[in-house]
Structure 1
Amino acid sequence: MLAKRIQPMFFQARRLYVELMFQVMGRALQAVSEIDETVQQEANALPEGFLFEMMVMPDGARLIVEHTGNGRFRYLGDSAPRAVDLSIQFKHIAHAFLVLSFQEKTSVAFANDRMLVDGDISRAIRMTRILNRLEAFILPKLIAKRAVKEYPENIHLPEKLLNAARIYLKVATNFVETVKA
């Protein structure tokens, strides 16, 4: 009896967690593209106006970012002004939760057929490298090693702490600006 009441709350909490993580990731992608040269170099290979989407199928939570040029991304929220160029789609909310709660690496989720890529695979790999770099900065090393395929050896503690603080500050500022608007 108790399980029947708790289960819907669990599903709702999982859905809310995924939605919140997409909002944080979108804003963090914008922030890391403003402060990290490696991310900027990766993003510069993408065309200006390139739209990237990560979503839960069929109509679940999503994040959309646009490459605005000079290696910078802009978080657009959950609606695109036009058709997206690249979409990474989780087949189920449970699959998204596994990846976004760092229980499963993105590469493992893809290998286990939990995700689809709609668009150019080379661009998907580029965006995955950008997301991995972001996670390496904003997550504790122990958790980041579980989340990314290979933890970057060239990120040292002072750089990690400084960039993480800058990213979190920009994310928090973006949340506050969104609330004020």
Structure 2
Amino acid sequence: MLSKRLQPIAFQARRAYVDLMFQVMGRALQAITEVDETAREETRFLPVGFLFEMQVMPAGPKLIVEHTGDGRLQYLGDEASRPVDLSIQFKHMAHAFLVMSFQEKTAVAFAHDRMLVDGDVSLAIKMTRVLNRLEAFILPKLVAERAVKEYPATLNLPNKLLNAARIYLKVATNLVETVRA
């Protein structure tokens, strides 16, 4: 009986966690394209104005970023002024929670049919590579190895720490600016 009363609380907690992670990831996607040349190279050939969305179906948390040119992404929050060009959608909040809490790799979630891609699959692969690179930078190596398909062999500790610090600083700055607005 107690577990029935705790289920809605657990669902709300998972939803709040996924929503917070999407906000952090959106800002971090913007930051990594300002900090890391490899991430910029991945996104450089996206069309200017390209909108990428990651969301939980049917009306759960989401993040939207826009390619502003020269490989840079800008976090738009959870609303876009026009239809998105590429959407990666989790079929259920529990599936999103598994990936956002780094219990399951994105590739594994896709293989288990927990996610949908609506849009150009080749662009989805580019965005997934950027997300994997971001996770490799900002997560401790043990966690990142569980989260990404392949941890970059060339990522050494000084480079990881420097870029992670720069990304976190930009994310924090963006959060503060958002709160002030």
TM-score between the two structures when normalised by the length of structure 2:
0.99
State the alpha-carbon separation in 1 of the partners of residues 94 and 3 from structure 2. 18
Amino acid at match of 2:77: G
Query: Alpha-carbon deviations, 1:55-87, whole Å to 9, x = none?
Result: 000111000000000110000000011110000
State the alpha-carbon separation in 1 of the partners of residues 45 and 121 from structure 2. 14
Amino acid at match of 2:140: P
Aligned to 1:34: 34
Pair 1:49-2:81 in alignment: no
The count of residues paired between Structure 1 and Structure 2 equals: 181
- 1:133-148 matches, within 5 Å, as 133-148=133-148
Amino acid at match of 2:132: N
Following superposition, the deviation at residue 2 of structure 1 comes to 1.9
Aligned to 2:150: 150
Aligned to 2:130: 130
State the alpha-carbon separation in 2 of the partners of residues 21 and 136 from structure 1. 16
Aligned to 2:82: 82
Aligned to 1:10: 10
Query: Alpha-carbon deviations, 1:127-150, whole Å to 9, x = none?
Result: 000000000000000000000000
Following superposition, the deviation at residue 4 of structure 1 comes to 2.2
Please give the secondary structure, in 2, of the residue aligned with 1:52: strand
Please give the secondary structure, in 2, of the residue aligned with 1:73: strand
**What is the CA RMSD across the aligned residues, in angstroms?**
0.6
Aligned to 2:66: 66
State the alpha-carbon separation in 1 of the partners of residues 90 and 7 from structure 2. 21
Unaligned ranges ≥5, structure 2: none
Pair 1:176-2:176 in alignment: yes
Aligned to 2:121: 121
Unaligned ranges ≥5, structure 1: none
Amino acid at match of 2:148: V
What stretches of structure 1 move > 6 A for 4+ residues in a row? Answer: none
Following superposition, the deviation at residue 7 of structure 1 comes to 1.5
Please give the secondary structure, in 2, of the residue aligned with 1:113: coil
Aligned to 1:20: 20
TM-score between the two structures when normalised by the length of structure 1:
0.99
State the alpha-carbon separation in 1 of the partners of residues 170 and 126 from structure 2. 23
State the alpha-carbon separation in 1 of the partners of residues 148 and 131 from structure 2. 9
Aligned to 1:101: 101
State the alpha-carbon separation in 2 of the partners of residues 61 and 10 from structure 1. 16
State the alpha-carbon separation in 2 of the partners of residues 48 and 106 from structure 1. 26
State the alpha-carbon separation in 2 of the partners of residues 160 and 149 from structure 1. 18
Amino acid at match of 2:116: L
Please give the secondary structure, in 2, of the residue aligned with 1:95: helix
Following superposition, the deviation at residue 171 of structure 1 comes to 0.5
State the alpha-carbon separation in 2 of the partners of residues 3 and 39 from structure 1. 44
